[in-house]
Amino acid sequence: MIEYVTNHPQGTIIYQTDIVKIEKKGLLHTMNLWCMKQLFTYEGYRKAVQHELHFNHLIPLYLSEDLQLIPIKRYRDYDNLYVNTKAVEHVEVHEDQLCLTFISERKIYIKMSLYRYNKLIEKLLIIRNTKVKHFH
């Protein structure tokens, strides 16, 4: 299972439960490829969410039940990373950042408040419910 993805000078690093992969393309290109497998573009998805749900910043990306990604920074920022919320086991507050513990017991620290993290999870659930509603 994918835990999180981030940019790297060589491309995109994909941290999975049991391995770490490097894709030769950048993070935005990788996100777009994953979206294309679901028959939409990343930019089209962002525009649709902005238009229909009025979310303008830090738009979560719902791809499947096992791949639900939230951005930590603006989507065009090089040092952004996307966290798969389905792979997060535990969230702890440490001073002014969050410690996310994944299924593999890997930990990362992100500069985000627990309030903002929970708001992104709420947005993700709204997007998920909207998408699922359209296909049933």
Give DSSP secondary structure letters for the chain.
Answer: -EEEEEEETTEEEEEESS-EEEESS-HHHHHHHHHHHTTS-HHHHHHHHHHHH---SS--EEEETTEEEEESS-TT-TT-EEEEGGGEEEEEEETTEEEEEETTS-EEEES--HHHHHHHHHHHHHHHHHHHHHT-
pLDDT value of position 133: 75
Average pLDDT over residues 14-38: 95
**Tens digits of per-residue pLDDT, 8-25?**
999 999 999 999 999 999
**Residue burial 30-45, b: 16+ Cβ < 10 Å; e: rest:** bbbebbeeeeeebeeb
**Tens digits of per-residue pLDDT, 105-128?**
999 999 999 999 999 999 999 999
Q: Is the whole-model pTM more than 0.95? A: no
- Backbone phi and psi for residue 44, each to the nearest 5 degrees, phi listed first: -65, -40
Q: Is 50 left (phi over 0), alpha (psi -120 to 50) or beta?
A: alpha
pLDDT at 131 over 90: no
Q: Of all residues in the chain, what percent carry a pLDDT higher than 70?
A: 98
pLDDT at 134 over 70: no
Higher pLDDT, 78 or 4: 4
Query: Across all residues in the chain, what is the average pLDDT?
Result: 93
pLDDT value of position 135: 55
Average pLDDT over residues 66-79: 93
